[in-house]
Amino acid sequence: MKVPTLNGDIDTSEMGLTLMHEHLFVFSDGVQEAFPRAYDLEGIVADVTEKMRQAASHGVRTVVDLTVLGLGRKLPLMQRVAAQVPQVRFIVATGLYTYNELPHYFENRDIDHMASMFVQDIREGIQGTGVRAGILKCATDEPGVTPGVEKVLRAVARAHLQTGVPIYTHTHAATRRGLEQQRIFKEEGVDLKRVVIGHSGDSNDLGYLISIIENGSYVGMDRFGLYHNEALPVFPTYDTRVRTVAELCKRGYTERIILSHDYCGFIDWFPMEVVRQIAPKWSYTHIFEEVIPDLREMGVSEAQIQQMLVANPRRYFEGA
Ligand SMILES: [Zn+2]
């Protein structure tokens, strides 16, 4: 089956080692356009390109970039990185990232209008580039399914039903938001095996994680590199994140686990030196450097690692 990428369509059989939830660039929507002097875009592109080359050196062949409206998606900048790291193919997203409120534009337009925007990104291309979105993104955080969030979840579900493009979510795992997302998707008629419930790895509540899997979806164990400390009190420790994956594998759920970092090669929410300080392990390569060796030590087999990083992403895009 074909999947669109920044580098042209590829066959799912060519995806290879895949990081399913990363970001090249995250910008606060509109700030760079308003105050371009605050950004050294050339330096930022060069830095992100170098980081992506390091991922390629670990054998990464496909990266799913889940940057959408709400995270300052800039397709032309992403294309510059893709052109310089041709070993890696980038699947890009459409959708809307909000924890509560919608942009005013969408407040007074209905769910189907929003869905039609996503469908155009999938069928015609994003921001005039002709690059088609291959995945849909939405979010529910601590505020829960507010009216704005519910509109996005239902619009994403409807765009999925019209196009067959799969869904990847952001959740606040501590409040078990993934189950609410599954309920809404099911009401809309979505087959839950086409859904990754993202940031599930922020929880070590096996009951919660297994419920998501038993309902049919994948659990995104997708924030390796973000660990508990004074600045990031909501995140689990390194040990907890790794042990939770090992335990799910041991219990036979390897076919429903997705591994990634949610790394942002550039993010303007904090000065980058602060990002490095509060999350020193966070990168596109941490899983290969530290997590996989430790999973092996905990009894996770090579076949299970390949399942999580190669076979699961492929099956998810194929919809099999
Ligand atoms: Zn993300």
pLDDT tens digits for range 276-317: 999 999 999 999 999 999 999 999 999 999 999 999 999 999
> How many whole angstroms from 279 Cα to the centroid of ligand 1?
15
Confidence label for 156 from pLDDT (cuts 50, 70 and 90): very high
Cα-based torsion angle of the residue sequence 9, 67, 65, 5 in order, rounded to the nearest 10 degrees: 10
> How many whole angstroms from 238 Cα to the centroid of ligand 1?
18
Give the Cα separation of 289 and 115 in Å (integer): 40
pLDDT average, residue stretch 145-166? 97
> How many whole angstroms from 22 Cα to the centroid of ligand 1?
6
> How many whole angstroms from 226 Cα to the centroid of ligand 1?
12
The mean of the pLDDT values for the chain is 97
Give the Cα separation of 138 and 106 in Å (integer): 14
Strand 2-3 with 10-11, pairing: antiparallel
Q: Taking the complete model, does pTM exceed 0.85, yes or no?
A: yes
pLDDT average, residue stretch 142-155? 96
Question: In DSSP terms, which residues pair with 94 in a beta bridge?
Answer: 136
Q: How many domains does the chain have?
A: 1
> How many whole angstroms from 268 Cα to the centroid of ligand 1?
14
Confidence label for 152 from pLDDT (cuts 50, 70 and 90): very high
pLDDT average, residue stretch 34-49? 98
Nearest to 185 by CA among 138, 134, 132: 138
> How many whole angstroms from 82 Cα to the centroid of ligand 1?
19
> How many whole angstroms from 127 Cα to the centroid of ligand 1?
20
pLDDT tens digits for range 67-124: 999 999 999 999 999 999 999 999 999 999 999 999 999 999 999 999 999 999 999 9
- Within the chain, residue ranges assigned H as helices are 31-34, 41-57, 75-84, 104-107, 111-123, 147-163, 177-187, 206-214, 238-250, 272-278, 286, 292-297, 302-306, 312-318
**CA dist 41 → 73, 203, 240, 248, 298 (Å):** 14, 35, 37, 41, 42
> How many whole angstroms from 97 Cα to the centroid of ligand 1?
9
Quote the domain boundaries for residue 245.
2-318
Is the pLDDT score of 182 beyond 90?
yes
> How many whole angstroms from 215 Cα to the centroid of ligand 1?
23
* Domain CATH number, residue 174: 3.20.20.140
> How many whole angstroms from 8 Cα to the centroid of ligand 1?
23
**CA dist 8 → 72, 103, 134, 155, 212 (Å):** 22, 31, 11, 26, 33
> How many whole angstroms from 275 Cα to the centroid of ligand 1?
15
> How many whole angstroms from 25 Cα to the centroid of ligand 1?
10
> How many whole angstroms from 27 Cα to the centroid of ligand 1?
12
Confidence label for 226 from pLDDT (cuts 50, 70 and 90): very high
> How many whole angstroms from 135 Cα to the centroid of ligand 1?
13
Nearest to 118 by CA among 91, 98, 100, 136: 136
What's the burial of 189, exposed, middle or buried (CB within 10 Å: 0-12/13-18/19+)?
Answer: exposed
